[in-house]
Amino acid sequence: MFFLYKIDFYFYSFKIYYDNRNLHLFKNTFDFKMSLSKPMCPICLNEPFLPVSWNNIKEKMVRGRPIYLEKCPAANKNPICLTCVRDYLNSQEGDRAQCPSRCCYGYKGLDLYQTYGFVLRTKKEYAEDCMWTLLDSYGVLNKQCNRCEHICETLEETLNHLRKDCLKRKIPCGCCKSLVPFDEIDVHKLSCEFARFKIL
């Protein structure tokens, strides 16, 4: 009975819009409802660029492998930008970290990259390439970089943007270990006498 009532409600709601020739308002309402369903990064509060999940590691890692971990439920619903999660982890001191949504608290990976994305990947592999490929196949992958605002055209360009092309990508200094934006390397070399960078 409730199901039939719900159908009638939506039917008459649409009929009112159509009869009043108020299709423009209907479209705006529909777009607004669709925007509410989009995921939002809990750090930058924007649609995630290269979204990743959070690994809540319950026990210290042995030989580079987590003994027990859970995927953060909040990050499953609202994934984190790849760029945001790296900056967030670098700001956390000690061997434990709280997820950006403040619902999980666990150990960091022996390498920071193990705290997000697919935990058993190697350091050179993409964090969530399977999920990104799936999102791209449905046409819902956000391809606009949240650092330099560049809009990538293809999936391949999107995957490699942060590694090779983004002028705002952060690269660790081999001397002082600080993360320096690519376009500020020359400025950093003036203050860090033995600065050295590994650039792809």
200 near 163, Cβ under 8 Å? yes
- Residue 51's pLDDT is 92
Residues 148 and 176 in one domain: no
Please name the residues in contact with 125: beta carbons below 8 A apart, sequence gap of 6 or more. 118
- Please write the tens of the pLDDT for every residue from 112-139: 888 898 877 888 889 888 889 988 998 8
Residues 157 and 174 in one domain: no
- Give how many domains the chain has, as a whole number: 2
Residues 148 and 59 in one domain: yes
Residues 149 and 182 in one domain: no
- Residue 111's pLDDT is 77
- Residue 12's pLDDT is 37
Spans in the chain with pLDDT lower than 70? 1-37, 60-68, 199-200
Residues 55 and 116 in one domain: yes
- Residue 193's pLDDT is 79
The domain of 178 spans 169-200
Asked, for residue 183, whether it belongs to a domain, the answer is yes
Asked, for residue 163, whether it belongs to a domain, the answer is yes
Contacts 24+ apart (CB under 8 A), 131-140: 131/51, 132/50, 132/51, 132/158, 132/159, 135/51
Quickly list H helices, 20-146. 23-36, 73-77, 82-91, 129-137
153 near 177, Cβ under 8 Å? no
Asked, for residue 107, whether it belongs to a domain, the answer is yes
Residues 158 and 176 in one domain: no
Is residue 172 packed enough to be buried (19+ CB in 10 Å), middle (13-18) or exposed (0-12)?
middle
- Residue 1's pLDDT is 42
Residues 106 and 177 in one domain: no
- Residue 9's pLDDT is 36
Q: Cα separation of 177 and 192, whole Å?
A: 11
Q: Cα separation of 41 and 48, whole Å?
A: 5
The structure's pTM equals 0.68
Asked, for residue 21, whether it belongs to a domain, the answer is no
Residues 193 and 144 in one domain: no
Asked, for residue 22, whether it belongs to a domain, the answer is no
Asked, for residue 68, whether it belongs to a domain, the answer is yes
Asked, for residue 135, whether it belongs to a domain, the answer is yes
- Residue 154's pLDDT is 92
Residues 104 and 186 in one domain: no
